[in-house]
Structure 1
Amino acid sequence: MVLLRISLFGKFRVCRDERPVPGIDAGKVQQLFSYLLLHRDRPHAREKLASLFWDSTTTAQSKKHLRQTLWQLQSSLDEAHSAQVIHVEPEWVQVNTTDDFWLDVALFEQTFLLAQGTAGRELSADDAQKLRQATQLYQGNLLEGWYHDWCLYERERFLHMYLGMLDKLMGYSEARRAYEDGIRYGQMILRYDLARERTHRRLIRLFYQAGNRTEALRQFDRCEAALSRELGVRPARGTLVLNEQIRADTLAADDPILMVLADDEDGLNAGINPEPTGLPEAISRLRQMRATLTLLQQQVDSCLEACRQALHE
Structure 2
Amino acid sequence: MPPRRRSPLRHAPTTAARGDPPTIRVELLGGFELGVDGRSIRIPVHAQRLVAFLALHDRPLHRAYVAGRLWIDLSQEQAHNCLRSTLWRMRGPSRPVVDASATHLVLDPAVDVDARELESAASRVLHHESLSAHEIDQLVSAADLLVDWYEDWVVEERDRLRHLRLLALETACTELVAANRFTEALVAGTAAVAGDPLRESATRALIAAHGATGNVAEALRRYEAYRSSLAETLELTPSPHMTELIHSIVPGRAS
Normalised to the residue count of structure 2, the TM-score between the two structures is: 0.81
Computed over aligned residues only, the root mean square deviation of the Cα atoms, in angstroms, reads 2.3
Amino acid at match of 2:138: A
Q: Offset of 1:162 from its aligned partner?
A: 1.2
Of the three residues 46, 54, 58, the one matched with 2:75 is: 58
Change (3 A) 1:133 1:192: closer
The residue that corresponds to 1:132 in the other structure is 136
Structure 1, gaps ≥5 residues long: 251-313
Take 1:238 and 1:55, find their aligned partners in 2: how far apart are those partners? Answer: 45
CA contact (8 A) 1:104 1:137 kept: no
Task: Note if 1:203 corresponds to 2:217.
Answer: no
Where in structure 2 are the equivalents of 1:31-70 lying within 5 Å?
31-41=49-59, 43-70=60-87
Take 1:53 and 1:178, find their aligned partners in 2: how far apart are those partners? Answer: 45
Structure 1 residue runs of 4 or more that deviate by more than 6 Å after TM superposition: none
Q: Offset of 1:209 from its aligned partner?
A: 2.5
CA contact (8 A) 1:128 1:172 kept: no
Of the three residues 160, 164, 183, the one matched with 1:161 is: 164
Of the three residues 58, 80, 87, the one matched with 2:99 is: 87
Amino acid at match of 1:65: C
Structure 2, gaps ≥5 residues long: 1-20
Q: Offset of 1:151 from its aligned partner?
A: 1.0
CA deviation map 1:152-189 (0-9, x unaligned): 11111111221122123212321133333222211101
Q: Offset of 1:142 from its aligned partner?
A: 0.8
Take 1:174 and 1:113, find their aligned partners in 2: how far apart are those partners? Answer: 19
Task: Note if 1:181 corresponds to 2:191.
Answer: no
Q: Which has the larger radius of gyration?
A: 1
Count of residues in Structure 1 that have an aligned counterpart in Structure 2: 233
User: SS at the partner of 1:87?
Assistant: strand
The residue that corresponds to 1:3 in the other structure is 23
CA deviation map 1:68-118 (0-9, x unaligned): 111112x2xx33xx2233122223222232xx3221122222233333432
Take 1:57 and 1:192, find their aligned partners in 2: how far apart are those partners? Answer: 36
Amino acid at match of 1:91: T
Which deviates more, 59-68 or 109-118? 109-118
Where in structure 2 are the equivalents of 1:280-299 lying within 5 Å?
none
> If each structure's helix is expressed as a fraction of its own residues, which one has the higher value?
1
Amino acid at match of 2:135: L
Change (3 A) 1:180 1:114: closer
Amino acid at match of 1:132: I
Change (3 A) 1:55 1:102: closer
CA contact (8 A) 1:5 1:15 kept: yes
Take 1:50 and 1:162, find their aligned partners in 2: how far apart are those partners? Answer: 29
Take 1:183 and 1:220, find their aligned partners in 2: how far apart are those partners? Answer: 15
The residue that corresponds to 2:153 in the other structure is 150
CA deviation map 1:31-56 (0-9, x unaligned): 11111111131x22222222222232
Normalised to the residue count of structure 1, the TM-score between the two structures is: 0.67
CA contact (8 A) 2:182 2:213 kept: yes
User: SS at the partner of 1:224?
Assistant: helix
Of the three residues 71, 75, 84, the one matched with 2:88 is: 71
Task: Note if 1:109 corresponds to 2:119.
Answer: yes
Where in structure 2 are the equivalents of 1:257-296 lying within 5 Å?
none
Q: Which has the higher contact order (CA 8 A, sep 6+)?
A: 1
Q: Offset of 1:223 from its aligned partner?
A: 1.5
CA contact (8 A) 2:131 2:172 kept: no
Percent identity for Structure 1 against Structure 2: 24
